[in-house]
Amino acid sequence: MEKVKNTFDVAIIGGGINGSSIAYQLSKIGKKVVLLEKNQLACEASSAAAGMLAAQAEIEQDGPFFQLALKSQSMFQALSNELLEMTGIDIEFIQKGMIKIAETEEMAKEVQQQAAFQRNWDPEIEWLDRNSLLKLEPSLSQNVTGGMYLPNDGHVQPAKLSQAFANAAELLGATILENTEVLSLIYENDRVIGVKTTLGNLHCQQVVLATGAWASKLLQETGLDITVYPVKGECFSVKTDTPIINRTIFSDKRCYIVPKRNGEIYIGATQVENTFDKKVTPGGIIRLIERAVKLVPQIKDAPWERVWAGVRPQTGDGLPYIGEHPFKKGLFIAAGHYRNGILLSPVTGTLVADLLQGKSDENLLKAFRIDRNKAKVY
């Protein structure tokens, strides 16, 4: 007979920010959860991200993805307080705003249109010309044309958020197993009944696959091939005693500059598709330095701090997969969040918890179905 300690309601595979968020939400409703991570919690994309909550800077049209992002963004203030009270971890939720920069007159027209569109959801969003921007952030380049100012945008420390989710789940009774790889899934009559791991078999009623860029691997054994592929992002940071900037600077030219509470400024990120290689290259960092200095010239003289890289999970249509496997009952997926994994982590946790209870909003989740893109079945 299987030992009771090896039997759970739900096994979550992947200890990144979304896996930990799901574990927290399921534990809150009394589910017996095991969170399985083959390395250490938040050791991949979740710790490499800058932590921007840029729903309205990155997503430029209305639709299910945009509405999901807005909903998740609105959850952070209460979540920050809740996790601090439960775990003592400050996720460093900072809401000083973001500026989406226009560097040319042509870009200015596009960003002005975006500002007008985004005011439908936040009337405080405004277009600022060069002079107004420089009053707000004097260290910006004199060459910027203008920018969309999003005063209510913010950012967090992703690794701390991941750890807070996991710690809170554990306090509520979840079991967390690091350095534990899931080798395969266990089925009975096309229903998942457990997972085979490097520590042995674990029995469960439901399994959630939250393995980011590695999501395709275990799904392939189920006869389903979805499009989730890695996109490497290289970043660097500088650290100053007095702030150079106070707000996040975001450019369409694949550059963001995020000032953190400890004086560090995160600058990212390159995009290198179809590689799990996290080596940082001189070429990638040089391109980032050039972009960053063009926007904020003082960065050129700021003390160097560190470089790093992470692997983001992208999908064929840019939307995450959130839903139940089409023909393996009890198997769910939450992966492919790409650049928005941190932003979407609160709502992903609640959506998946509802989904596993049969309470999901089918209209909302339709856009994120696993089989939406004619996934290959074999």
Complete DSSP assignment for 176-205: EESS--EEEEEEETTEEEEEEETTEEEEEE
Domain with CATH 3.50.50.60 in the chain: 4-49+159-227+317-377
pLDDT category at 378 given cuts 50, 70, 90 is very low
Residue burial 162-183, b: 16+ Cβ < 10 Å; e: rest: bbbbbbbbbebebbbbeebebe
Q: Is the predicted pLDDT of residue 254 greater than 60, yes or no?
A: yes
Percent of the chain with pLDDT over 70: 97
DSSP assignments along 265-309, one per residue = EEEE---EES-------HHHHHHHHHHHHHH-GGGGGSPEEEEEE
Other beta carbons within 10 angstroms of residue 148's beta carbon come to 27
Report the pLDDT averaged over residues 27-53: 95
Q: Is the predicted pLDDT of residue 5 greater than 80, yes or no?
A: no
Asked if residue 328 lies in contact with residue 191, where contact means CB atoms within 8 angstroms, the answer is: yes
Residues forming beta bridges with residue 264, ordered by sequence position: 239
Cα 232 from Cα 45, distance rounded (Å): 9
Chain segment 198-253, per-residue pLDDT in tens: 999 999 999 999 999 999 888 888 888 888 999 999 999 999 999 999 999 999 76
Q: What pLDDT, on the 0 to 100 scale, is given for residue 170?
A: 98
Q: Is the predicted pLDDT of residue 374 greater than 80, yes or no?
A: no
Q: Is the predicted pLDDT of residue 125 greater than 90, yes or no?
A: yes
Q: What pLDDT, on the 0 to 100 scale, is given for residue 302?
A: 98
Report the pLDDT averaged over residues 330-336: 96
Cα 335 from Cα 326, distance rounded (Å): 16
Q: Is the pTM of this model over 0.75?
A: yes
Q: What pLDDT, on the 0 to 100 scale, is given for residue 221?
A: 87
Q: Is the predicted pLDDT of residue 373 greater than 80, yes or no?
A: no
Q: What pLDDT, on the 0 to 100 scale, is given for residue 349?
A: 98
Residues forming beta bridges with residue 291, ordered by sequence position: none
Cα 215 from Cα 335, distance rounded (Å): 7
Q: Is the predicted pLDDT of residue 3 greater than 70, yes or no?
A: no
Q: Is the predicted pLDDT of residue 128 greater than 60, yes or no?
A: yes
Chain segment 271-311, per-residue pLDDT in tens: 999 999 999 999 999 999 999 999 999 999 999 999 999 99
Burial of 348 by CB count in 10 Å (0-12 exposed, 13-18 middle, 19+ buried)? buried
Cis peptide before 108 (omega within 30 of 0): no
Report the pLDDT averaged over residues 35-63: 92
Q: What pLDDT, on the 0 to 100 scale, is given for residue 305?
A: 98
Q: What pLDDT, on the 0 to 100 scale, is given for residue 339?
A: 92
Asked if residue 342 lies in contact with residue 313, where contact means CB atoms within 8 angstroms, the answer is: no
Cα 258 from Cα 236, distance rounded (Å): 11
Q: What pLDDT, on the 0 to 100 scale, is given for residue 67?
A: 93
Max CA pair span of the chain: 73
DSSP assignments along 305-352, one per residue = EEEEEEEEEEETTS--EEEE-SSSBTEEEEE--GGGHHHHHHHHHHHH
User: Looking at per-residue confidence, does 11 or 2 come out higher?
Assistant: 11
Task: Note the CATH architecture for domain 4-49+159-227+317-377.
Answer: 3-Layer(bba) Sandwich (3.50)
Q: Pairing relation of β-strands 228-239 and 304-315?
A: antiparallel
As a whole number, the mean pLDDT across the chain is 93
Amino acid at 162: S
Domain with CATH 3.30.9.10 in the chain: 86-154+229-315
Integer distance in angstroms from the first to the last C-alpha of the chain?
Answer: 35
Report the pLDDT averaged over residues 113-129: 95
Q: What pLDDT, on the 0 to 100 scale, is given for residue 4?
A: 40
Q: What pLDDT, on the 0 to 100 scale, is given for residue 376?
A: 53
The class (CATH top level) of 86-154+229-315 is alpha beta
Chain segment 178-202, per-residue pLDDT in tens: 999 999 999 999 999 999 999 999 9
pLDDT category at 75 given cuts 50, 70, 90 is very high
Q: Is the predicted pLDDT of residue 83 greater than 50, yes or no?
A: yes
Q: Is the predicted pLDDT of residue 166 greater than 50, yes or no?
A: yes
pLDDT category at 101 given cuts 50, 70, 90 is very high
Give the pair of three-digit tokens for residue 286.
């040089």
